Amino acid sequence: MTAPTIDVVALGSAIVDVLATAQDTDLEARGLVKGTMALVDAVRADELYAGMGPAVEASGGSAANTVAGVASFGGTAAFIGKVRDDQLGAVFAHDIRAVGVSFATEAATTGPATARCLVFVTEDAQRTMTTYLGAATGLGPGDVDTGVVAAARYTYLEGYLWDPPEAIEALRTAMSAASDAGRQVALSLSDPFCVDRHRKDFLGLVDDHVDVLFANEVEIMSLFEVSSLPEAIDEVQRRGRCGLAAITLGALGSTIVTPDATIDCPASPVEHVVDTTGAGDLYAAGFLHGLASGAGLMRCAELGSLAAAEVISHLGARPQVALATLL
Amino acid sequence: MTAPTIDVVALGSAIVDVLATAQDTDLEARGLVKGTMALVDAVRADELYAGMGPAVEASGGSAANTVAGVASFGGTAAFIGKVRDDQLGAVFAHDIRAVGVSFATEAATTGPATARCLVFVTEDAQRTMTTYLGAATGLGPGDVDTGVVAAARYTYLEGYLWDPPEAIEALRTAMSAASDAGRQVALSLSDPFCVDRHRKDFLGLVDDHVDVLFANEVEIMSLFEVSSLPEAIDEVQRRGRCGLAAITLGALGSTIVTPDATIDCPASPVEHVVDTTGAGDLYAAGFLHGLASGAGLMRCAELGSLAAAEVISHLGARPQVALATLL
- Interface confidence, given as ipTM, is 0.93
Q: Which residues have CB under 8 Å from B14's CB, separation 6+?
A: B61, B64, B79, B81, B82, B83, B89, B92, B105, B114, B115, B135, B136
Name the minimum distance, in Å, from the CA of A98 to any CA of chain B: 5
Residue A10 predicted with pLDDT over 80: yes
Tell me, yes or no, if A84 comes closer than 8 A to chain B by beta carbon. no
pTM for the whole structure: 0.95
Residue A73 predicted with pLDDT over 90: yes
By C-alpha distance, the chain A residue nearest B99 is A54
By C-alpha distance, the chain A residue nearest B123 is A321
Find chain A residues with C-beta within 8 A of B88's C-beta: 87
Domains by residue range for chain A, with CATH: 6-12+61-109+139-326 (3.40.1190.20)
For residues A264-275, give the mean pLDDT. 94
Q: Do B95 and A59 touch (CB under 8 A)?
A: no
Distance CA B322, CA B308 (A): 13
**What pLDDT shows up at residue A119?**
96
Distance CA B162, CA B202 (A): 9
For residues A147-159, give the mean pLDDT. 98
The predicted-structure confidence for B69-120, as pLDDT tens digits, reads as follows 999 999 999 999 999 999 999 999 999 999 999 999 999 999 999 999 999 9
Residue pairs spanning A and B at CB distance below 8 A = 62
User: What share of chain B has pLDDT > 90, as a percent?
Assistant: 93
**What pLDDT shows up at residue A1?**
66
Query: For A108, which DSSP code?
Result: B
Q: What is the mean pLDDT of chain A?
A: 96
DSSP A31-78: TPPTT-EEE--HHHHHHHHHTS-S-EEEEE-HHHHHHHHHHHTT--EE
Closest partner CB to B95 (pick from A55, A96, A113): A55
**What pLDDT shows up at residue A135?**
97
Q: Which residues have CB under 8 Å from A326's CB, separation 6+?
A: A306, A310
What b-and-e string marks burial along A170-190, b requiring 16 or more CB atoms within 10 Å of the CB? bbebbbbbbbebebbbbbbbb
Residue B182 predicted with pLDDT over 90: yes
| Residue B249 DSSP SS3 | coil
Distance CA A247, CA A257 (A): 8
Tell me, yes or no, if A98 comes closer than 8 A to chain B by beta carbon. yes
Tell me, yes or no, if A87 comes closer than 8 A to chain B by beta carbon. yes
Interface probe for A, chosen from B21, B95, B323 (most Cβ of A below 10 Å), is B95
For residues B165-170, give the mean pLDDT. 95
DSSP A139-182: --GGG--HHHHHTEEEEEEEGGGSSSHHHHHHHHHHHHHHHHTT
For residues A231-257, give the mean pLDDT. 93
The predicted-structure confidence for B18-27, as pLDDT tens digits, reads as follows 999 999 999 9
Find chain A residues with C-beta within 8 A of B54's C-beta: 59, 68, 94-96, 98-99, 318
The predicted-structure confidence for B196-216, as pLDDT tens digits, reads as follows 999 999 999 999 999 999 999
Q: Do A113 and B21 touch (CB under 8 A)?
A: no
Q: What is the mean pLDDT of chain B?
A: 96
Neighbours of A196 (CB within 10 A): 13
Helices (H), chain A: 24-29, 42-50, 62-72, 87-98, 146-150, 165-180, 192-197, 199-208, 217-224, 229-238, 279-292, 297-311
Q: Within 13 Å of residue B39, how many CA atoms lie on the same side as its CB?
A: 16
* Partners of residue A114 on adjacent β-strands: none
Reported as a pLDDT band with limits 50, 70 and 90, residue B250 is: very high
Q: Within 13 Å of residue B83, how many CA atoms lie on the same side as its CB?
A: 24
Find chain B residues with C-beta within 8 A of A59's C-beta: 54
Q: Do A56 and B58 touch (CB under 8 A)?
A: yes
Distance CA A118, CA A154 (A): 29
**Beta strands A212-216; A244-248: pairing state:** parallel
**What pLDDT shows up at residue B1?**
66
Closest partner CB to B49 (pick from A54, A55, A94): A94
Tell me, yes or no, if B163 comes closer than 8 A to chain A by beta carbon. no
Cβ proximity of B291 and B154 under 8 Å: yes
| Of the candidates B171, B181, B60, the residue with the CA atom closest to the CA atom of residue B116 | B60
- What does each C-alpha distance from A145 to A103, A110, A159, A161, A176 come to in angstroms? 11, 21, 19, 17, 12
| CA dihedral over B10, B12, B14, B18, signed as positive or negative | negative
Find chain B residues with C-beta within 8 A of A113's C-beta: 87
| Residue B187 DSSP SS3 | strand
